[in-house]
Amino acid sequence: MSNNIDAPAPAVEQAIDPRLLVREQGFSGYISEFKRKIRGGELGSLPVIIGLIVIWAAFAASNGNFLSASNFEYIAYYMVGIGTLSIGLVFVLLLGEIDLSVGSVSGLSAAIFAVLSVTHGVNLWLATIAALATGAVIGAIHGFVFAKIGVPAFVVTLAGFLGWNGLMLWLLGDTGTINLPDTGLIHLFGGNSFFLNGDIAGAYILAGVGVAALLFSSLGEQGRRRSAKVPFRPTSEIVLRTVVLAIAAFGSAYVLNLHKGVPNNLVFFLAALIICDFVLRRTSYGRKIFAVGGNIEASRRAGINVAAIRISVYAISGFFAALGGLVISATISSANQGGSDPNNLMMAIAAAVIGGTSLFGGRGKVWSALLGMLVIESINAGLFMLGEAQSVQYMITGGVLLAAVVVDSLSRRTQKSSGRA
C-alpha cells in the first residue's frame, strides 16, 4: 500500500529518503512487500491457511473419503454454531479481554427459546427475539460489572459461566430435554434448509455476488484514492486478490453443489461475518474497539467513552452467544442440558485465536471465526471418520490451540522487536 509516496508535493524540500518503504510497481513489489510483512511478524491468515492445507492433506492421505463433497458439507454445516459464538469472542478479544460465559449463555438462550415456544406456546419469532435479547442483556450486565465496578472480566464471566449454566438447568427442569419443532428460525438453521432449496444456481449466485462485491469495492476505492493522490492498490494486486477469492468461492460452491447445496445457516454465518467486518473496519465504533484494545488510556484521552465500548462489546458477545445457542439447538433439534457444554466455549475461543485474532488485544479480524472453525471442524470430522474417540479429538484440538497461541505470542514478539507492536 505504500507505493506512490510522491503523492502530495510537500511544502518543504523533501528528497526521497532511501529508507522509505517504497514498493516497486507491480508483481515483484507485491512479493517483496509480502516478505517484509512476514519477517516483521505480520503473519495475518498465513499460518492458518497453511495449517488447513496440512490438515486436509493428512486426513486425505489416511482416509479417501475425507475429501468428499458430503464431508465438506458436514464441515460447513457444523462449524456455524460454534463459529457464531466465536464472532462475539473476536470482538471481546480485540479489546484484549475474554468472555468465558458464551457457552453458558448459548445454552441458556436455547433453553429460553424452547421453554417459551414449546412449553408456553409463545410465538416463534417472539421467543427468538426474547432469547437473543436475553443474551445481549446478560452480556451488557457482564460488561457493566467489568467496566463500571472494575471486576476483572475473567472473574465476571467465570461467574456468568457457572450462574447462567445453573439457570439453564433450572429452566429445563427434570426432563432436561425439550425437542424443537422444525419451523421458523430453527428450520432455517437446521439441516434440511438450503439456499434456494439447494438449487445449483444458488451456490454460484452467492459466489458470484461475493466476488463481484470485492472486485467493485476494490476498484471503487482505487479510483477514489487515485483521484485523491494517496497511495492505492495496484490493479495487479486487486486482480490477484479477486482471482484468489473467486477460486475459493466458486470451488466451495462447486463442492457443496455436488452434495446438497449451501446450507442456509452458512449463508447467515457469512452474512454475519460481512456485517461485523464492516462494523469493525469501516465505522468509527469499530475503530474505537481497536483503539481501546491498543491503549486504554490513550483512548480515554482521545475522548472515547471506554466504559460504553466495553459494555457494548460484551453485549455483542452475549448476543452472538445467544444466536449461536439457537443455531446449535437447531442442528440437534432440541434444547438440552448439554447446551452449555464447556467444550463449545473452548472451541469458540480456540477458533478465534487459531484464525489469527490476537489474545493481546487490538489485532484481529472477524474472519478468524470462519478460518478457525474450518480448522477445528476439519479436525473433528477427520478424526470422526478415522473412528477416533472424543478423547483424541480433544487432545488434538488442544494441541492446535496451543500451537495457535504460540504463533500469536511469537509473532507479537517479532512485531515488538521489529517495532510493530
Partner 1 sequence: MLPDPVRGGFGVPGPGKFVFRIPVCARDGAATHPRHRVVKELVYVTSAPVLALRGVSKRFGAVQVLTDVELEVHAGEVVALVGDNGAGKSTLVKTIAGVHPIDDGVIEWEGRSVSINRPQDAQHLGVATVYQDLALCDNLDVVNNLYLGRELKRRGTLDEVTMEQKAQELLSTLSIRIPSVRIPVASLSGGQRQVVAIARSLIGDPKVVILDEPTAALGVEQTAQVLDLVERLRERGLGVILISHNMVDVRAVADRVAVLRLGKNNGTFPVHGTTQETIIAAITGATDNAVTRRQSRTAEATK
Minimum distance from CB of 228 to partner 1 (Å)? 5
Q: Which is nearest to 154 in space by CA: 87, 99, 86?
A: 99
Pick from 187, 241, 260, 300: which binds partner 1 (CB under 8 A)?
A: 300
Task: Count the residues in the chain.
Answer: 421
CB nearer partner 1, residue 241 or residue 300: 300
Minimum distance from CB of 193 to partner 1 (Å)? 33
CB nearer partner 1, residue 64 or residue 419: 419
Near partner 1 by CB under 8 A, which window of 112-120, 192-200, 370-378, 412-420? 412-420
Which residues between 266 and 295 bind partner 1 (CB under 8 A)? Answer: 282-284, 287-288, 290-291, 293-295
Near partner 1 by CB under 8 A, which window of 17-25, 113-121, 244-252, 308-316? 17-25
Which residues between 212 and 271 bind partner 1 (CB under 8 A)? Answer: 221, 224-225, 228-231
For the chain, the three-class secondary structure string (H helix, E strand, C coil) is CCCCCCCCCCCCCCCCCCCCCCCCCHHHHHHHHHHHHHHCCCCCCHHHHHHHHHHHHHHHHHCHHHHCHHHHHHHHHHHHHHHHHHHHHHHHHHCCCCCCCHHHHHHHHHHHHHHHHHHCCCCHHHHHHHHHHHHHHHHHHHHHHHHHHCCCHHHHHHHHHHHHHHHHHHHHCCCCEEECCCCHHHHHHCCCCEHHHHCHHHHHHHHHHHHHHHHHHHHHHHHHHHHCCCCCCCHHHHHHHHHHHHHHHHHHHHHHHHCCCCEHHHHHHHHHHHHHHHHHHHCHHHHHHHHHHHCHHHHHHCCCCHHHHHHHHHHHHHHHHHHHHHHHHHHCCEEEHHHHCHHHHHHHHHHHHHCCCCCCCCCCCCHHHHHHHHHHHHHHHHHHHCCCCHHHHHHHHHHHHHHHHHHHHHHHHHHHHCCCC
CB nearer partner 1, residue 389 or residue 416: 416
| Residue written as grid cell 452474512 | 271
Pick from 150, 301, 387, 391: which binds partner 1 (CB under 8 A)?
A: 301
Near partner 1 by CB under 8 A, which window of 191-199, 320-328, 342-350, 411-419? 411-419
Minimum distance from CB of 283 to partner 1 (Å)? 6
Number of residues that bind partner 1 (CB under 8 A): 48
Which residues between 336 and 395 bind partner 1 (CB under 8 A)? Answer: 361-363
Near partner 1 by CB under 8 A, which window of 171-179, 203-211, 296-304, 349-357? 296-304
If one asks whether residue 18 binds partner 1 (CB under 8 A), the answer comes out as no
Minimum distance from CB of 419 to partner 1 (Å)? 4
CB nearer partner 1, residue 3 or residue 109: 3
Minimum distance from CB of 113 to partner 1 (Å)? 33
CB 180 within 8 A of CB 118: yes
CB nearer partner 1, residue 12 or residue 61: 12
CB nearer partner 1, residue 96 or residue 208: 96
CB nearer partner 1, residue 94 or residue 273: 94
CB atoms within 10 A of CB 217: 11
| Site mask for partner 1 (CB under 8 A), range 29-48, x = bound | -----------x--------
Q: Report residue 91 as a C-alpha cell.
A: 470482538
If one asks whether residue 120 binds partner 1 (CB under 8 A), the answer comes out as no
Residues that bind partner 1 (CB under 8 A): 1-2, 5, 7-8, 10-12, 14, 17, 19-21, 40, 221, 224-225, 228-231, 282-284, 287-288, 290-291, 293-295, 297-305, 361-363, 415, 418-421
